Amino acid sequence: MKKRKALTAIALSAALVASCLAGCGKKTETGSTADSGKTKITFGVFETDNITSEVWQNMIDSFEKDHPDITVEKVLATGDDRQAFWKTMLSSGSFPDVVIEAEQLATMEGIFTEVPQDVQELFDDTTLCQYNGKCITVPSFKQYKMQCYYNKSVFKDLNLEEPQTWDEFMNVCQTIKDAGQTPLMCGGTGDIWATGEPFWIAEGDTALLSKYPDFNKELKEGTNKWNNDTTVDVLTKWQDMVNKGYYYDGAMSLSYSQAAEEFKKGSAAMMVDGSWQAAGLDSESNEDFGVFALPTMDGSKITVADCSYWGVSETCENKDAAFQFIKYVFDENQDVYKTYLQADGLYSTTKKAVTYDQGNVTTKFIDNIADNDTVQEIVKLPGENAAPSGMQSFMDKSFQNIFNGADVKTEVESWDTEYQRLLDAQ
């Protein structure tokens, strides 16, 4: 991620708040204690191109080796909507003992148990947050989003430079289009977030938080709405980009992984993506691609980031073992934590900061935003002003509607209706 200055900025940002480990749902007879007499906990995760099964298995194997009296069973979330997957497991009594990316469920009362003080003390105080007066999750990492990756050879052939303003970025897109090539890549099928979420985070979050620094608080209090001139303007300009043919023609038939591969194969000159792309390129020693901070529409120097959180289920039968697992990952074995962070271009949230060597693309990614202010992603803000669970997936589907030509204002109006519905349902 960023240089030290940037890391300080995100730590100081009031938006960055943590949630405590999730886990421990109802168990079968063998759920809490393995047949061998060992204590058993379940660990709910998801996998990506970077955060692979090997990353989780290394974490689990290392813990079990050092804690032979505890076994950890991985539970893998499948499908496009991970929150819906966990909610289904919750309703069926199969909710895992420890769950990653817990912040979107933490707004639901009674899901996660309070984090013990000794566990809270492992983390940077500025990344801890409360829900209804309690710390119920722990911050697992910081991550910076989103920048624009580009094919160096295309830029060289067309005499293009990294754009510094929104107008310059539009000129880059048009120049690439005029040359008979596709400017931008995104994904669609199977990964609905990959259609509009990257662009929205880079341009929508920055525009709203530049104009309304307390947008989350105002939204929850009812003094502001999603349906405002700023939101409509950003999404209208994005839809115009789609209509101009700036995006890959078959994008909606591609998963995120397929879209990323098509980009690297040259099907499009640019792709807006997070720091995980930089980590992936560095792991391949791929020097064919550069990255620049996507210029904001209003010229503000803002970078969006978020903390992600783990939680332990309120119904966990072996809370001590669950929190022992958390302490091991984030404190007792820094090599395990480092492997986790480095795999996806993530940054430490612990008081004993864990660092790792960064490749050329990741270094450039961080250098691009060294002088920017850092803000928390609106729908990932944890704590009292968090967006209600389900809002993220609703917006992702709406982005796809807009990409496919739906009326922007009608879509944004639906955001306010859904936000209130989800808020009332908590």
pLDDT at 16: 34
E strand intervals along 87-166: 96-99, 138-145, 147-151
pLDDT tens, position by position, 307-332: 999 999 999 999 999 999 999 999 99
Domains delineated in the chain: 4-144+305-359 (3.40.190.10), 146-303+382-425 (3.40.190.10)
pLDDT at 396: 96
Q: Which residues of the chain have pLDDT under 50?
A: 1-32, 34
Whole-number pLDDT of residue 132 = 87
Task: Calculate the dihedral angle through the C-alpha atoms of 379, 165, 163, 397, rounding to the nearest 10 degrees.
Answer: 30
pLDDT at 141: 94
Residue that has been written with the tokens 């809370």 in this structure: 319
Give CA–CA dist 178/411, Å, rounded.
Answer: 31
Cα distances (angstroms) measured from residue 84 to each of 134, 184, 187, 263: 24, 30, 20, 30
Give Cα separations from 185 to 50, 144, 291 (angstroms). Answer: 19, 20, 14
Angle at 272 between CA 269 and CA 275, to 5 degrees: 120
Token pair 């099928």 is found at 189
Q: What is residue 382's predicted lDDT score, i.e. its pLDDT?
A: 85
State the DSSP code for 125.
G
**Positions of E strands within 6-115:** 22-24, 39-45, 70-76, 96-99
pLDDT recorded at residue 35: 53
Quick one: pLDDT at residue 36? 62
CB-CB contact of 96 with 63 (8 Å):
no
Note the pLDDT of residue 262. Answer: 97
Q: State if pTM tops 0.85.
A: no
Residue 204, CA distances (Å) to 161, 235, 264 in order? 24, 8, 26
pLDDT of residue 384: 84
In whole angstroms, how far apart are CA 395 and each of 52, 224, 290, 302? 27, 17, 29, 22
Helix and strand element counts for the chain (H, E): 17, 11
CA distance 203 to 210: 10
**303 membership: H or E segment, kind and range:** strand 302-312
User: Which uninterrupted H or E stretch holds 291?
Assistant: strand 289-292
Q: List the end-to-end C-alpha distance of the chain, in Å, as a whole number.
A: 34
pLDDT tens digits for 85-109?
999 999 999 999 999 989 888 988 8
